[in-house]
């Protein structure tokens, strides 16, 4: 099984790096899919802002997972109904407006988007998924007209080579398009994602479309997707803020004619989701450190997740990392607020390969830890069992505060 994701950006000039890389086809890498991305003025930058991905079959199987936020955007409410029968013909996505808390007008806009796509594709609107991303509370007649026009333009531009265009069209504050392709034994998985802020469990603030030409039933697709997101997107906790528009969709064309080994396909899908989660982490708004928190020897996986998340959401810890300070005391203070089974006075904490805390007491000098690289590793050994989990987060920076204070201006 070979992996062909584009190189992940490592620094602030990621936009230039992204432009210099050969395009990964992403969602159009598997057979049976076409896509497009067009610009209709939803973004003030004039960049692409409406994308369509169409499954040409022969299978039209689909599965999706959605934000667990009770406050759900209109496209989420629509797509939850569409996906109920495990069938979808296409997905329409727009950036530049979340279409959330826009009243009945907003839901009608989503419905009309599905109807416009269905009419042009010759299918039923109940088989069209819809996604939106952007500023909450924005949406008017101009927004609706642009989305509907963009849907028509994108469908007219559909191509099996336009996966990269679709990936660029769903970007908001992202600095790079995020795509991944994995080739299995006679089948392929392709994917695209957007997300750079409000990254928290319940998926993270992101739109993800995954495609495969493997042969799967709706039940198999749903089970594989939930298993993969559980250990990837649901472990991404950049800023502790949960979005209203999160959706991860898996579309299955079956065009390869190959029924994959279940374990092999599940592992590949998890690899795709994890790779995208890491790309989302690496492009988080204003971040200067990508922090991987590995909790080991926990009494249960749930305990490991709870402990890791308590550190990922601790602003004192995140501020310390921004200041290149390996403050392990803040780690112990954070994990002490959890209900996990462990003795705080037996815990070891390691930063970037240097164990600074052993059995709840100082070990190596802090000066031995170099936190200047962007990649930062924290290992927490609870010494309470044999379970483990990894949480992905970022530091808390001046740039993050500035970008989010000026987001709607």
DSSP β-bridge partners for residue 209: 192, 249
CA atoms within 13 A on the CB side of 11: 5
Q: Is 205 a catalytic residue?
A: yes
Please tell me the distance from the alpha carbon of residue 198 to that of residue 285, in angstroms, as a whole number.
9
DSSP β-bridge partners for residue 7: none
393: enclosing H helix or E strand:
strand 387-394
3-state helix, strand, coil in the chain (%, to 5): 35, 25, 40
**Do residues 266 and 189 make contact, with C-beta atoms less than 8 angstroms apart?**
no
Question: ∠ at Cα 138 (283, 77), nearest 5°?
Answer: 80
**Prior bond of 58 cis (ω within 30°):** yes
Who contacts 345 (Cβ-Cβ below 8 Å, separation ≥6)? Answer: 359, 360, 361
Quick one: DSSP state of residue 147? H
Which is nearest to 47 in space by CA: 72, 71, 18?
18
Who contacts 106 (Cβ-Cβ below 8 Å, separation ≥6)? Answer: 73, 74, 99, 100, 139
The catalytic residue among 28, 151, 205, 274 is 205
Please tell me the distance from the alpha carbon of residue 102 to that of residue 346, in angstroms, as a whole number.
52
178: enclosing H helix or E strand:
strand 178-183
Please tell me the distance from the alpha carbon of residue 108 to that of residue 72, in angstroms, as a whole number.
15
CA atoms within 13 A on the CB side of 126: 4
Which is nearest to 130 in space by CA: 88, 80, 92, 102?
92
User: In this structure, what are the phi and psi dihedrals at residue 160, rounded to the nearest 5 degrees?
Assistant: -75, -5
**Overall residue count recorded for the chain in this entry:** 409
* Residues involved in catalysis: 205
């Amino acid at each position: 099984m070979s992996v062909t994701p584009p190189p992940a950006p490592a620094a602030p000039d990621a936009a230039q790096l992204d432009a210099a890389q050969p395009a990964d086809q992403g969602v159009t890498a598997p057979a049976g899919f076409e896509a497009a991305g067009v610009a209709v003025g939803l973004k003030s930058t004039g960049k692409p802002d409406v994308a369509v991905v169409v499954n040409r079959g022969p299978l039209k199987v689909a599965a999706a997972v959605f934000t667990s936020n009770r406050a759900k955007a209109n496209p989420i409410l629509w797509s939850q109904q569409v996906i109920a029968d495990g069938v979808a013909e296409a997905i329409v996505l727009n950036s530049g407006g979340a279409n959330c808390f826009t009243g009945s007008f907003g839901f009608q806009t989503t419905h009309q988007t599905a109807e416009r796509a269905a009419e042009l594709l010759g299918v039923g609107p109940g088989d069209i998924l819809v996604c939106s991303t952007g500023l909450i509370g924005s949406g008017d007649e101009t927004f609706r007209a642009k989305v509907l026009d963009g849907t028509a333009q994108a469908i007219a531009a559909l191509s099996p080579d336009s996966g990269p265009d679709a990936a660029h069209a769903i970007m908001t504050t992202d600095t790079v398009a995020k795509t991944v392709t994995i080739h299995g034994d006679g089948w392929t998985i392709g994917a695209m994602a957007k997300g750079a802020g409000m990254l928290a469990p319940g998926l993270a603030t992101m739109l993800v479309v995954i495609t495969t030409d493997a042969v799967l039933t709706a039940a198999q697709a749903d089970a594989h997707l939930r298993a993969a997101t559980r250990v990837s997107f649901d472990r991404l906790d950049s800023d502790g803020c949960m979005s209203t528009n999160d959706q991860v969709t898996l579309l299955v064309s079956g065009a390869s004619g190959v029924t994959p080994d279940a374990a092999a396909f599940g592992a590949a899908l998890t690899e795709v989701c994890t790779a995208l989660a890491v790309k989302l982490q690496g492009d988080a708004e204003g971040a200067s450190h990508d922090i991987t928190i590995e909790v080991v020897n926990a009494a249960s996986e749930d305990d490991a997740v709870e402990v890791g998340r308590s550190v990922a959401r601790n602003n004192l810890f995140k501020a310390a990392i921004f200041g290149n300070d390996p403050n392990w005391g803040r780690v112990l203070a954070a994990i002490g607020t959890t209900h996990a089974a462990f003795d705080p006075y037996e815990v070891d904490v390691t930063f970037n390969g240097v164990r600074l805390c052993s059995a709840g007491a100082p070990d190596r000098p802090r000066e031995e830890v170099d936190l200047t690289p962007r990649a930062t590793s924290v290992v927490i050994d609870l010494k309470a069992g044999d379970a483990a989990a990894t949480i992905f987060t970022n530091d808390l920076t001046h740039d993050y505060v500035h970008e989010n204070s000026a987001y709607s201006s």
